[in-house]
Amino acid sequence: MTKSRADKMAETRARLIAAGRAAFAQKGYAEASMDDFTGAAGLTRGALYHNFGGKTGLLQAVIEQIDGEMLARMAEESARHDDPWAAFLAEYRAYIRMALEPEIQRIVLLDGPAVLGDPSRWPRQLACLDRVRDLIAGLIEDGIVQPVDLGMAAALLNGAALNAALLVAGSDAPEATLPRALDTFERLAEGLRA
């Protein structure tokens, strides 16, 4: 079975995304040289410009991929709980833990907003943000949470979770700090309950 043209293109896209993802995570967006990571992928900058239009286009694609993985992991966590509030907190615990990983922290949470602008204005918004919005909407409908502005509540909670994760990641003993972060976050979230 010979590879079709579209298959080959999909493969080069995947290779470039993988190489870019590794480089962005390790050196940061600004310090990652296109020649370096396209070369590492066995390609040249020509392929990158053809497929993604430029360096920022590749960053978008990388973020989209990571976002999809984050969404899946959060959904997986919440599925283990029957109580809606517990499921809600479980998703945020997963989010905070993921924000600890250097790859997600650097690419999605630091360089992404700085290079592409505020995530809430991205053309393809982060799926995990949308998901949290839906969760909160359900909690409000069930009378578990006060009737607050959906997008606002989601943004506030995301910001709190992100900073919690950054602080944990930067601490000397992340493992010891993580439970305190989760605890403090849950107390904050209590403020939204009916």
Partner DNA sequence: CTAGATCGCATACATGGCGTATGTCAATTC
Partner DNA sequence: GAATTGACATACGCCATGTATGCGATCTAG
For binding to DNA (CB under 7 A), which residues are involved?
Answer: 2, 4-6, 8-9, 12, 32-36, 38, 42-47, 49-51, 54-56
Q: Is 148 in the site for a second copy (CB under 8 A)?
A: yes
9 binds, among a second copy, DNA, none (CB under 5 to 8 A by kind): DNA
DSSP per position, 133-176: HHHHHHHHHTTSB----HHHHHHHHHHHHHHHHHHHHHSS-HHH
Structure tokens at 69: 């993985």
Q: Is 140 in the site for a second copy (CB under 8 A)?
A: no
State which H helix or E strand residue 88 sits in.
helix 84-100
148 binds, among DNA, a second copy, none (CB under 5 to 8 A by kind): a second copy
Instruction: Label residues 61-78 b or e (16+ Cβ within 10 Å = b).
Output: bbbebbbeebbeebeebb
Per-residue contact track with a second copy, 2 to 41, x per CB under 8 A?
Answer: --------------------------xxx-----------
Q: Considering the complex, state which of residue 47 and residue 127 has its C-beta at the smaller distance from DNA.
A: 47
Q: Exposed, middle or buried, 187 (CB in 10 Å: 0-12/13-18/19+)?
A: exposed
159 CB neighbour count, 10 Å cutoff: 10
Q: Considering the complex, state which of residue 30 and residue 72 has its C-beta at the smaller distance from DNA.
A: 30
45 binds, among a second copy, DNA, none (CB under 5 to 8 A by kind): DNA
End-to-end CA, the chain:
60
* Torsion angle defined by CA atoms of residues 167, 169, 180 and 82, in that order, rounded to the nearest 10 degrees: 110
162 binds, among a second copy, DNA, none (CB under 5 to 8 A by kind): a second copy
The HSE-up count of residue 161 (CA atoms within 13 Å, CB side) is 25
Min separation Cβ 109 and DNA, Å: 21
129 binds, among DNA, a second copy, none (CB under 5 to 8 A by kind): none
Please tell me what DSSP assigns to residue 110: I
Q: Footprint of a second copy on this chain (CB under 8 A)?
A: 28-30, 110-111, 113-115, 118, 120-121, 146, 148-149, 151-153, 155-164, 166-167, 169-170, 177, 180-181, 183-185, 187-192
